[in-house]
Amino acid sequence: MSNGISPEDERPIEDVSHDVPEGVSEEARPSVGRALKQARIAAGLTVDDVTTATRVRIAIVHAIEADDFAPCGGDVYARGHIRTLAKAVGLDPGALLAQFDAEHGGRPAPTPAAPLFEAERIRPERRGPNWTAAMVAAIVVVIGFVGFTFVKGGDDGGNEASVAEGAQPSAGRSASSSAEPKKPADPKPSDSAIAAAPADKVTVKVSASDGRSWISAKDHNGRLLFDGLLNQGDSKTFQDNEKVDLVLGDAGAIELYVNGKKIEDDFRPGAVERLTYTKGDPQVG
Whether 168 and 256 map to the same domain: the answer is no
Return d(Cα 243, Cα 207) in angstroms, integer: 19
What is the SS3 assignment for 253? helix
Whether 80 and 172 map to the same domain: the answer is no
In a domain, 285, yes or no: no
In a domain, 1, yes or no: no
What DSSP character marks residue 14? P
pLDDT at residue 213 above 50? yes
Whether 212 and 255 map to the same domain: the answer is yes
In a domain, 263, yes or no: yes
Q: In this predicted structure, what is the pLDDT of residue 267?
A: 81
In a domain, 2, yes or no: no
**pLDDT top residue among 184 and 221:** 221
Whether 120 and 236 map to the same domain: the answer is yes
In a domain, 283, yes or no: no
Whether 49 and 178 map to the same domain: the answer is no
Q: At CA 58, angle to CA 49 and CA 284, rounded to 5?
A: 130
Q: In this predicted structure, what is the pLDDT of residue 190?
A: 46
Whether 245 and 119 map to the same domain: the answer is yes
Q: 273-278 and 261-262 as β-strands: parallel, antiparallel, unpaired?
A: unpaired
**pLDDT top residue among 109 and 30:** 30
Contacts of 149 (CB under 8 A, 6+ apart): 175, 178, 179
Q: At CA 132, angle to CA 131 and CA 133, rounded to 5?
A: 95
Whether 18 and 91 map to the same domain: the answer is yes
In a domain, 259, yes or no: yes
Q: At CA 285, angle to CA 126 and CA 278, rounded to 5?
A: 30
- The mean pLDDT value for 130-155 works out to 79
In a domain, 26, yes or no: yes
Domain that holds residue 119: 113-125+198-278
Whether 204 and 177 map to the same domain: the answer is no
pTM above 0.95, yes or no: no
DSSP output for 68-106: --GGGTSHHHHHHHHHHHHHHHT--HHHHHHHHHHHTTS
Domain closes at, from 142, 177, 192:
192
Whether 27 and 63 map to the same domain: the answer is yes
Whether 121 and 139 map to the same domain: the answer is no
Residue 278, φ and ψ in degrees, nearest 5: -125, -175
Return d(Cα 277, Cα 258) in angstroms, integer: 7
Whether 118 and 137 map to the same domain: the answer is no
What is the SS3 assignment for 42? helix
Whether 208 and 259 map to the same domain: the answer is yes
pLDDT at residue 259 above 90? no
In a domain, 108, yes or no: no
pLDDT at residue 171 above 50? no
Domain closes at, from 145, 163, 192:
192
Contacts of 256 (CB under 8 A, 6+ apart): 204, 205, 206, 207, 246, 262, 263, 265, 275
- The mean pLDDT value for 88-111 works out to 82
Domain closes at, from 165, 192, 219:
192
State the average pLDDT for the chain. 74
CA torsion through residues 218, 219, 223, 226, sign: negative
9-43 b/e with 16+ CB inside 10 Å = b?
beeeeeeeeeeeeeeeeeeeebbbbbbbbbbbbee
Q: How many independent structural domains does the chain possess?
A: 3
DSSP output for 145-204: HHHHHHHHHHH-HHHHHHHHTT---HHHHHHHHHHGGGSPPPPPHHHHHHHHS-TTSEEE
Quote the percentage of the chain above a pLDDT of 70.
Answer: 65
What is the SS3 assignment for 239? strand
Q: In this predicted structure, what is the pLDDT of residue 84?
A: 95
